[in-house]
Amino acid sequence: MLRCFRLAMLFAISIVVQPAAAQDSLCKRLGGGDAISAVVKSFLMKMRTDDPDKLGRFWLYRGSDGVAREEQLIVDFVQSATGCDRLYVGRDLGPAHKGMRLSSRDWERTFNFLKATLEEYKVPAALNAEVVALVESTRGQIVECETSQFGCP
Ligand code: HEM
Give per-residue pLDDT as tens, 82-114. Answer: 999 999 999 999 999 999 999 999 999 999 999
pLDDT of 42 above 60: yes
Candidate from 75, 91, 142, 152 with most ligand 1 atoms within 8 A of CB, to mutate = 142
Residue range 2-142 in CATH 3.40.50.2300: no
Report long-range pairs for 29-34 (Cβ below 8 Å, ≥24 apart).
Answer: 29/127, 30/82, 30/123, 30/127, 30/131, 32/84, 33/79, 33/84, 33/85, 33/86
Q: Which of 7-16, 36-45, 76-85 has the lowest mean pLDDT?
A: 7-16
Name the closest-CA residue to atom 14, ligand 1: 96
Residue 21, pLDDT score? 58
> For the chain, how big is the Rg over CA atoms in Å?
22
pLDDT of 47 above 50: yes
pLDDT, mean over the chain: 91
Distance 29 CA to ligand 1 centre (A): 24
93 lines ligand 1 (CB under 6 A): yes
pLDDT of 10 above 60: no
Residue 41, pLDDT score? 98
Q: Are 142 and 107 in contact (CB under 8 A)?
A: yes
Specify the 3-state DSSP secondary structure of 68: helix
Name the closest-CA residue to atom 13, ligand 1: 96
Distance 1 CA to ligand 1 centre (A): 68
Q: At what angle do helices 33-48 and 64-81 cross, to 10 degrees?
A: 140
pTM: 0.89
Distance 139 CA to ligand 1 centre (A): 11
The residue with greater pLDDT, 78 or 10, is 78
Name the closest-CA residue to atom 1, ligand 1: 107
71 lines ligand 1 (CB under 6 A): no
Q: Which of these, 110, 126, 112, 153, lies nearest to 29 by C-alpha position?
A: 126
